[in-house]
Amino acid sequence: MDQQRIPLVDYLVLDEPDHLIAHECTTCSARYFSRRNACASCGGTEFNDVPIEPVGELRSFTIVSFAAPGVAVPFVAGVVDCAGTTVRGNVVNVTPDPEHVTLGMKVRLTTFGMGTDSHGVEAVGYGFEPA
C-alpha cells in the first residue's frame, strides 16, 4: 500500500511534478493563494486556478534566529518571484547565512515531509532550494 500524502496548504498540489496553484482574477489577472470572494485589485468576483512556475528568483529574505519553541533555528524565510507571481516560502537545503543565501539567487520549488500521523498519512510542506 502506498503511503498517503496530504499538502500542508491547499495551494500545494502533490502530483508529478508537485507544484503550486494560485487563484487568478479573470478581470485583471491579480493572483492570490488564499480563497477570495472578490479581487483586492479590481473587485472582480471570478477566478481561475493557474499553475505557478516552479523556478524563480529570491527577491527578499531574512535569516530567522528566534522562533517558537520546537522550531529549529536558524532558517531562511524568503520571498520568491516565480515568473511574475510573488510566493512566500522558506529557503531550504542551504546553509542559512549571507554567504550562501543572496538576493537574486535562482531557486526552485521543493517539497518535504513534515510528519506522519498514526495512520501513516504524511503532511507535506514546500519551500525553495537553490536551483
What's the whole-number mean pLDDT along residues 110-128?
95
pLDDT value for 96 = 97
Q: How confident is the model at residue 3 (pLDDT cuts 50, 70, 90)?
A: low
Q: DSSP class of residue 52?
A: P
Window from 32-36, 76-80, 92-96 with minimum mean pLDDT: 32-36
> pLDDT digits over 13-71, tens only?
999 899 999 999 999 999 999 989 999 999 999 999 999 999 999 999 999 999 999 99
What is the domain count for the chain?
1
For 20-35, give one letter per residue: b (16+ CB within 10 A) or e.
bbbbbbeeeebbbbee
Is the separation of the CB atoms in 118 and 1 below 8 Å? no
Q: How confident is the model at residue 79 (pLDDT cuts 50, 70, 90)?
A: very high
Separation of alpha carbons 125 and 37, rounded Å:
26
Nearest-5° Cα angle at 130, 24 to 84: 25
The three cell numbers of residue 131 are 536551483
β-pairing verdict for 5-7 and 122-130: parallel
- Give me the percent of the chain exceeding a pLDDT of 70: 98
pLDDT of 1 > 80? The answer is: no
**Amino acid identity of 11?**
Y
pLDDT of 87 > 80? The answer is: yes
Which domain range does residue 54 map to?
Answer: 5-130
The three cell numbers of residue 126 are 514546500
What's the whole-number mean pLDDT along residues 96-110?
97
Q: Say what the pTM is.
A: 0.91
CA 86 to chain CA centroid, nearest Å: 10
